[in-house]
Structure 1
Amino acid sequence: MDLKDQLKNLFPEHISSEADKVAEKKPELWLQKEPIICKYEKRKGKPITILEGYNGAEKDFKKLAQDLKKKLSVGGTFKNNSIIIQGDYRDKIMTLLQEMGFRTKRVGG
């Protein structure tokens, strides 16, 4: 039994500050009914993953791009209402988006 468990036993109605931080970190993105299209291309011989079809605000889409790049530890950009991720990460991106609550559709292979 560690210190956190002992404190929970002493003060059961206390809400830890870690739970508040986790609630604040979760981004509030607009979820749409239409699926986000996840496709694969090669540009100049290098693989990229492209996400298109988000109908929410542009700042939400940019936030989504930033979160995906951090979670995958890869580079990418936001251009012309699409997210471009360096490398073939279709499967990982689709699982991350589905965990967030988005519907996804795989295109191209």
Structure 2
Amino acid sequence: MDLQDQLKNLFPDHQPEPEESPKEGADIWLQQEPIICKYEKRKGKPVTILEGYNGADEDFKRLASLIKKNLSVGGSFKKEIVIIQGDYRDKIMAMLKDLGFNVKRVGG
């Protein structure tokens, strides 16, 4: 007898609620102006920089953590700019477009 059967025996009237898995990033505020995605080298290391988001700071931090988690890279959020370690412009732009953002690529 597994755990589900034991729970049914203890609580026969209970009806479990269906679980809904919301899409990641679904609660992030979208904007009309494009987010600027550019590439720089800082101290000889490549970094991808995202700027131009005019929503709440918490939404931008959540967006930064979503990008870092999906790409398995490091990065930071400073002064309304997201800095991602490495050159991931194409992957980040595709990810943001899937979430519904307008993205503009700046530089080579």
Q: TM-score, normalised by structure 2?
A: 0.81
Moved over 6 A (4+): none
Q: Which amino acid aligns with 2:64?
A: A
The runs of 5 or more residues in structure 1 that have no matched partner are 1-14
Alpha-carbon contact 2:25-2:99 (below 8 Å) kept: no
What is the root-mean-square deviation of aligned Cα atoms in Å? 1.7
CA spacing shift, 1:48–1:97, aligned 2, 3 Å:
same
Post-superposition Cα deviations, 1:24-47, rounded to whole Å, max 9, x if no partner, equal 754401100000000000011100
Q: Which amino acid aligns with 2:59?
A: D
- Shift of the alpha carbon at 1:102? 0.2
The runs of 5 or more residues in structure 2 that have no matched partner are 1-16
Aligned to 1:75: 74
Alpha-carbon contact 2:26-2:99 (below 8 Å) kept: no
Equivalent residue pairs, number:
93
Q: Is the helix fraction higher in 1 or 2?
A: 1
- Shift of the alpha carbon at 1:23? 1.6
Q: TM-score, normalised by structure 1?
A: 0.80
Between the aligned residues of both structures, percent identity stands at: 64
CA distance in 2, matches of 1:43, 1:104: 22
Q: Secondary structure at the match of 1:77?
A: strand
Q: Secondary structure at the match of 2:39?
A: strand
Post-superposition Cα deviations, 1:5-33, rounded to whole Å, max 9, x if no partner, equal xxxxxxxxxx842xx1x227544011000
Larger Rg computed on CA atoms: 2
